């Protein structure tokens, strides 16, 4: 992937993540004000500091596609998949699919995306150490498991296709925004 293309994806991803985080903060404020019950369940047995290190950007199915994963308190996972559309109406268009649900229990990871243009994804697997030698290296962590693609047709009939996948973490310096110039 070219550096310019990578920078575009990182800026685009950071923008979406910022907008999404802002909306989550507003939801928490509204929920607190309305008296909605807050989830105060204890954190999983794994070290939260280690789990937070799993947060980052990972490869997805095709070159240029990625998964943004954020580990929050209590093993809650937020994020999104950015991918190219495959349908007639969205062929080649860049689509963002936010996580509908996500959970991290130790290193066991599951997430389900929202349906976008009739497609949703379910991932069940684990976060594992990859080939990267040091934190921040490419593939220091990997997401290894089964990805199920659920496709709804015009008659609302859902067909599913599962496959084993390994998604590699992007290098941390590439995922960080560039330093401000003085």
Minimum mean pLDDT among 34-38, 62-66, 134-138: which range?
34-38
Strands 119-129 and 108-113 come out as antiparallel
Q: Is the Cα dihedral 61, 63, 65, 67 positive or negative? A: positive
CATH value at residue 56: 2.40.128.30
Domain extent, residue 115, equals 40-173
pLDDT tens-digit readout, 148-160 = 999 998 888 999 9
Q: How many domains does the chain have?
A: 1
pLDDT band at 161 (very low <50, low <70, confident <90, very high): very high
Does residue 58 fall inside a structural domain?
A: yes
In a domain, 30, yes or no: no
Which regions of the chain does DSSP assign to beta strands (E)?
56-59, 66-71, 77-84, 94-105, 108-113, 119-129, 141-152, 158-168
Residue at 71 is within a domain: yes
pTM exceeding 0.85? no
* pLDDT of amino acid 13: 53
In angstroms, the Cα distances linking 104 to 18, 68, 79, 89, 127 are: 22, 14, 13, 34, 9
Is there a domain that residue 1 lies in? no
């Amino acid at each position: 992937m070219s550096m310019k293309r990578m920078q575009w994806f990182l800026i685009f991803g950071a923008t979406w993540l910022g907008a999404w985080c802002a909306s989550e903060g507003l939801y928490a404020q509204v929920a607190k004000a309305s008296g909605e019950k807050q989830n105060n369940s204890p954190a999983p047995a794994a070290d939260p500091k280690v789990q937070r290190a799993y947060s980052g950007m990972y490869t997805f199915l095709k070159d240029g596609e990625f998964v943004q994963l954020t580990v929050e308190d209590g093993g809650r996972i937020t994020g999104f998949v950015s991918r190219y559309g495959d349908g007639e109406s969205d062929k080649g268009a860049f689509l963002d699919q936010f996580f509908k649900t996500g959970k991290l229990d130790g290193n066991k990871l599951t997430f389900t995306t929202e349906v976008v243009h009739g497609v949703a994804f379910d991932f069940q697997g684990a976060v594992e150490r990859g080939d990267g030698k040091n934190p921040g290296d490419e593939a220091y962590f990997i997401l290894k498991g089964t990805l199920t693609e659920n496709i709804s047709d015009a008659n609302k009939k859902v067909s599913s296709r599962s496959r084993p996948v390994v998604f590699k973490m992007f290098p941390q310096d590439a995922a960080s925004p560039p330093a401000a110039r003085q």
